[in-house]
Structure 1
Amino acid sequence: MNRRQFATRSLAAVAGAVLHQPFSHATTLLSGEQVPGSVPDSVIQKARFPEGFLWGVATASYQNEGAWNEDGKGESIWDRFTHTPGKVRGGVTGDVACDQYHLYPQDIALAKRLNQKSYRFSISWPRIQPTGTGAPNMKGLDHYSRFVDTLLAAGIRPWCTLYHWDLPQALEDRGGWPNRDLANYFADYAGILAKHLGDRITMWAPFNMPWAIAFMGYAAGSSPPCRSSFPDFLKAAHTLALAQAEAHRSIKAASSKATVGSAYEMAPAYPKTNSEADRAAAARYHAMNNVFFLEAAMKGKYPNAFIGEPPYEIMGFKPGDEKILYAPLDWVGLHYYTRRIVSDASHAHCFGGGFSGTEIESDSACARDPYTGLSAVMPTEGPLTEAGLEVWPRGIYDLVTQISKEYNHPFIEITESGCGYLDSPDEEHGRVPDSRRIQWYRETLAELARAIADGARVRAFHAWTLLDNFQWAEGYTERYGLIYTDFRNQKRTIKDSGYWYAKVAASNKLEV
C-alpha cells in the first residue's frame, strides 16, 4: 500500500461522517477546528485487549514476493507499470522485492518469533491464471499451498486477500475493471482458490481497497493502468462490487469452512466546519470513499454518495444488479492510517466538464468531481510521519465506533495499520531503533482498546507490515516494516518495534 501517495496524490480515501444523513455524531467526532492532544500515558498504561485477541501482520503479493516471471506466472499491470521508465521512484521494480516467493519459510519463522497469530497475505492472480482466465497454473497453486501449510505449522492463522492490485495484464487489455465481464472472471478465480485452499483457509477477502483500485487506476490515473476517466471509475467501481459478491458466493460454494469479509480502506473524515453543507459533504465522502462497497454487500444497494440522482446509467447498472450485489459479509475488515478534513464544494465550477483528478486537492475551493461535490484536504495539526501522513490516534476510535453503530456491531478486524519511518540499523549494536514507530502503535492501539471497551467487537489487529517492502510508486524509499529489509542482500533485522509488538502480542497490553 502506497502511503505517500495516500497523503499527496489521493491514495487514501475515506471519511467518517454519517451515512445517508447529515453529520450527526458531533459529540463523538470532532470537527476539523478541534485538535485533541496525544494519548495520555495513563490511558496507554490502562489499555487491555481481550483474551483470544488475534495479533497479526499484513503483506501483499507484489510488494513482497518477487519471482515476477517464475513458475508460469503471467504479467500483471504492476509488472508492466514498473517496467515503464519514469513510473517508479528510483527506477526500481518489484521483480525481486523481498524475494518472499523463495524466502517465505524464513519470514514465517520470524512472524512466529514475534508471537503472531494471524498473517494476512494476498495471492497473485496472474500466478494462478497467467491471463486471468482458463485452467489454473498448478505451480502457482502449489506455492500458496506450501505457504499456507507453513503458516499452520507455525500456529498462525492464514488470512487470504484474493486481489491486492496485481491484475493480469491480459485482462486489462480486455478493458480492465470497467469491463463488466471481469466480475465473472474474478468469481471463477475465487472458486479455484477456495477449491484448492479452502480446506485450510477460513478467512477470505475478495479485494484490498476496492475504492483505490477503481479511483487511482481509472480516474486519477496515478496507479496502473493510469487512465483518467471518471465514467471509467464509476464503471470499474460497479464491476468491483459485482465481483465482490460473485466471489463471495464462489468461495462459499467451494468451501464449507469459509468466512468472507473485507479489507476496505477507511479513515475518519471530519467536516471542516459545523455547517450543514460541510457535514453533508463529509457524509457523501464517507459514503463514496469508505462504505460504498460495504453498503453494496450488506444491503444490495449503493449509499447516497452523490449530489442528485446516482449516475447508474454511466456505471452500467442493470435491472437485477441489486440481487447480485447483495452478499452480506461475515465480518468487516478495515484499514486505519489517518484522517481527512472535508468541505462542501457543490457550487464550485472547477471541473471543466470533467473532474479534478485527485482526492486530495491543492485548491480546496474546487470540487474533486461533479458527482460528489466535495473537497478533501490532508490535515497537518498533528505531527507527520516520514511518509507524509498526519499522526492522529483518535481517528481509529472514531472510525471503529462509527462502523460498529452503523452496521449493528459486526465483528471487525483491523486489516492494516502502521506508519512509515526511515530508521536504519545501528550496526554497532545490531539493532534498529525506531522509537517513533513504537509510540505511533502505542497511541493508536490505546485508542483501539478504548473502542473495544466501549463495545466495538474488534477481534484482530494486523500491523502493516511484517517486512520493509516495495512501496508501489515510491519504490524502496518508504519503510513500514516491523523488520528491516536490506534489499542488497535480503538480510532481515527485527526492529525495536518488532520486539515491542511481540511483547504486546504475548501480553495483550501496551506497557511492556
Structure 2
Amino acid sequence: MANDTSAVLDPVSPHSLADPFTPPADSSLWRKNFLLGAATAAYQIEGAIHEDGRLPSIWDTFSATPGKVLAGDTGAVACDHYHRWEADVDLLAGLGLEGYRLSIAWPRVMDAAGTPNRKGIDFYKRLLARLKEKGITTFVTLYHWDLPQHLEDRGGWLNRDTAYRFADYADLMSRELAGSVDAWGTLNEPWCSAYLGYGNGHHAPGLANGRFATQAMHHLLLAHGLAVPVLRANDPRSQKGIVANIGRGTANSDSAADQRAAHLFEVQHNAWVLDPLLKGEYPQDLFELWPGTEPLVLDGDMKTISAPLDFLGINYYFRTNVASDGAHGFKEVPLEGVERTQMGWEVHPDGLRDLLTGFKDTYANLPPIYITENGMASDDQLSDGKVDDSQRISFLKRHLAAVDEAITAGVEIRGYFLWSLMDNFEWAFGYERRFGIVHVDYATQKRTLKRSAELVAKFLKERGART
C-alpha cells in the first residue's frame, strides 16, 4: 500500500517563522538531556485488527457494540499504522522528535494458550529496529487498555489470574525485544482501566460497579508488580516504570467541606494509584469515599506492588473544580469563563506544576518523572493544505512552562511526550476529537503537519544547534 510521505520532507514551513512556542532562554527545556518526544497507543493507530493472527480485544468488542462509541466508530482501521509504520517513523524522525512512546497490542503477540504469534512480534521488532536506526529513544507500554477478549471472558481484571497472565506476556515481550527498548512501562493509566472500565462503564469492558473498580485496580497493580522483576531479569539495561494519569482537584469555596471534597477528589484520582506504588498501601480516605469497596488483598501483594521503579510516567490534561456533595464525597462544579478544549476539559497548566511539586513533598521515594502524555483535542480543520492549531501551540507552551517551574522547584523530570503524534481513535469519542500534532485524513490516510508540529520541529532544530 502506498504511503504518503510528503509531510516529512520539509517539517518547517515559512509560515512557522513567527514563533509563539520557543521557551525562554533560561528554560530547562533547552537542556540536551531533557527528552522531548511524542506518544501513541496501539489500538488507537494500528488498525489491522483481523490480520496476521491478532486476536480480538475488549475494545474491538466494546466499539462494535451499538451506542458505546461516538458515531459507531471502531479501531478496525484507525490510522492504518500497521501498514504505514515506516512512513510514520520517518515522519517522527523528520520532526526531530527524540523519543517515541508506543504500546504493544497484547492480542497481536500471543494466542489464548500463550503461544507466541511470530507475525505480530516481528511487526514490533521491525518497528523498534527502525526507530533505533533513526536514533529515537523508545518507551514501550505493555498495556494500553486492549485486553485480549478471551481473558475478559474469564473475568478480565476482576480475575486475579489475569495478573499472572500479564506477567507471562511481559516475560515473552521482554525476552523477544530485549535491547530494543529503552524504557518499559507496564500499564498505562490503571485509573482509567479500573474506574472507566469497571466502575462507571464508560470504557471497555463497560461494567459499572464500585467494588468491581477497586478489585480491578488491585489486580492491575498486582500485574504491574509481578511484571517488574521479570522485565529486570530479561532486559536489565532498560528502565522500568508505570504510567499514571493524574488530576488536579480544586475546591469551590474555602469551606472545610469543600476543601475536604477537593482532597477526596485527588485521593481517588491520584493516591488510589500512587500510594500503593510508592507507600505500599491504599489510602484509607478512599474507602470513606467508597465505603464497602475494599478489594481482596492477599499476603505479600502490597510488597509486590510497591517494587522500586526507575521512573514514573505522568499523564496530565485538566483540573476539576468540586464541592462537597453533602455526604461522603464530592460533585463537580464547572467554572464559568475558563478556557476549555474540544473535550470540554479546562486548560489549567498550574495544576500540573502543583501536582508535581506536591508529589515531591508527599512521596520520599518519588522516582524520576517523565511526562508521558500531555496535549489537547481541538476541532482542527485542514485549509489550503495547512492546519493552524493556535490553541494547541499555546497549550503546549504553557504546560511546558509549568514543567520547567516544577523542575526549578526540585522535581526530577527527565522528559516530556506530546499526546499525540497524530490524530487517532479517541476511545469512546471515536474520530471526532483530534489530539495530534499531525492531521490525519481518515478517508485517504494522508498525514499533514499542523503548525504545532512545525514549531516543535523548529525548536528542536534550534536546541540541537546550541548543543
TM-score, L = length of structure 1: 0.82
> Partner amino acid for 2:441?
D
2:380 paired residue number: 423
Question: How far apart are 1:376 and its partner, in Å?
Answer: 3.5
Q: Contact 1:75/1:130 (CA < 8 Å) preserved in 2?
A: no
Deviations 1:156-179 (A, max 9, x none): 011011111111000110011111
Structure 1 residue 181 displacement after superposition? 0.9
For the pair 1:397 / 2:377, whether they are aligned, the reply is no
Q: Select which of 450, 465, 469 maps to 2:405.
A: 450
Aligned to 1:385: 341
Q: In the TM superposition, what is the alpha-carbon distance from 1:97 to its structure 2 partner?
A: 0.4
1:160 aligns with 2:140: yes
SS of the residue 1:319 aligns to: coil
- Which moved further from structure 2: 382-391 or 274-283? 274-283
Q: Quickly say closer, same or farther: Cα 1:404–1:95, change in 2 above 3 A.
A: same
Q: Residue 55 of structure 1 is aligned with which of 36, 56, 66?
A: 36
Q: Distance in 2 between matches of 1:484 and 1:313?
A: 43
Provide the C-alpha distance between the structure 2 equivalents of 1:242 and 1:325, rounded to a whole number of angstroms. 5
Q: Given the alignment of the two structures, is residue 66 of structure 1 paired with residue 47 of structure 2, yes or no?
A: yes
Equivalences for 1:16-31 in 2 at 5 Å?
A: none
- For the Cα contact (< 8 Å) 1:270–1:340, is it kept in 2? yes
Instruction: Tell me how far 1:46 sits from its aligned partner.
Output: 5.6
Partner letter of residue 395 of structure 1? G
Correspondent of 1:197 among 177, 181, 195:
177
Cα deviation, residue 378, structure 1: 4.3
Displacement of 1:391: 1.3
Structure 1: distance between partners of 2:404 and 2:374? 14
Deviations 1:130-188 (A, max 9, x none): 33x51111111111111110111111011011111111000110011111111111111
Does 2:461 match 1:480?
A: no
Residue 80 of structure 1 pairs with residue 61 of structure 2:
yes
| Percent identity (aligned) | 39
CA contact (8 A) 1:151 1:158 kept: yes
Residue-by-residue CA offset, 1:3-27 (whole Å, 9 max, x unaligned): xxxxxxxxxxxxxxxxxxxxxxxxx
- Report the CA distance shift for 1:230/1:406 in structure 2 as closer, same or farther (over 3 A): same
CA positional deviation for 1:225: 1.1
Contact 1:284/1:304, CA 8 A, preserved across alignment: no
Q: Is the 8 A contact 1:281 1:344 kept in 2?
A: yes
CA-based RMSD: 2.2
In structure 1, C-alpha distance between the alignment counterparts of 2:236 and 2:44, rounded to whole Å: 31
2:92 is matched with which residue? 111
**Where in structure 2 are there 5+ consecutive unaligned residues?**
1-19
Measure how far apart 1:307 and its partner are. 4.8
Q: Could you say which residue in structure 1 is the equivalent of 2:74? A: 93
| Structure 1 Cα separation of the partners of residues 253 and 380 of structure 2 | 37
Greater alpha carbon shift after TM alignment, 444-453 vs 300-309: 300-309
- Greater RCO, 1 or 2 (C-alpha within 8 Å, sep 6+): 1
Q: Which residue is 1:210 aligned to?
A: 190
* Cα distance per residue 1:300-328 (max 9 Å; x no partner): 21123335599688411123322222212
Correspondence for 1:433: 388
The 3 A distance-change label for structure 1 pair 79 and 310 is closer
Partner of residue 259, structure 1: 239
State which of 427, 439, 445 in structure 2 corresponds to 1:490.
445
How far apart are the structure 2 equivalents of 1:138 and 1:486?
A: 31
Q: 1:93 to 1:43 in 2, by over 3 A?
A: closer
For normalisation by structure 2, the TM-score amounts to 0.90
In the aligned structure 2, how far is the partner of 1:492 from the partner of 1:135?
A: 36
Which whole-Å CA distance do the structure 1 matches of 2:219 and 2:104 have between them?
Answer: 20
Paired residues of 2:160 and 2:219 also in contact (CA < 8 A): yes
Moved more, 164-173 or 445-454: 445-454
* Unaligned segments of structure 1, at least 5 residues: 1-39, 349-366, 368-372
- Supply the distance in 1 between the matched residues of 2:179 and 2:377 (Cα, whole angstroms): 36
Structure 1 residue 375 corresponds to structure 2 residue 331: yes
Counterpart amino acid of residue 59 in structure 2: W
Q: 1:307 to 1:246 in 2, by over 3 A?
A: closer
The one-letter code sitting in structure 2 at the alignment partner of 1:496 is R
Q: Which residue of 1 aligns with 2:209?
A: 229
Mapped to 2, the partners of 1:62 and 1:129 lie a distance apart of 16
Check if 1:148 corresponds to 2:103.
Answer: no
Distance in 2 between residues matched to 1:223 and 1:146, nearest whole Å: 31
Given candidates 101, 104, 114, the residue that maps to 1:134 is 114
Equivalent of 2:281 in 298, 301, 304:
301
For residue 228 of structure 2, what is the aligned residue in structure 1?
248
Distance in 1, matches of 2:197 and 2:305, equals 22
Q: How far apart, in 2, do the equivalents of 1:214 and 1:379 lie?
A: 27
After superposition, the Cα gap between the structure-2 partners of 1:144 and 1:43, relative to the gap in structure 1 and judged at 3 Å, is closer
* Cα deviation 1:237-279 (Å, max 9, x = unaligned): 1111111101112211211113211211112212222333333
Distance in 2 (CA, whole Å) between partners of 1:473 and 1:419 is 16
Instruction: Assess if the C-alpha contact under 8 Å between 2:200 and 2:207 holds in 1.
Output: yes
**Alpha-carbon distance in 1 for matches of 2:168, 2:383:** 49
SS in 1 for 2:142: strand
Asked whether the equivalents of residues 287 and 293 of structure 2 are also in contact (C-alpha less than 8 Å), the reply is: no
Query: Is this contact kept in 1: 2:248–2:352, CA < 8 A?
Result: yes
Q: Does the 8 A contact of 1:397 with 1:450 survive in 2? A: yes
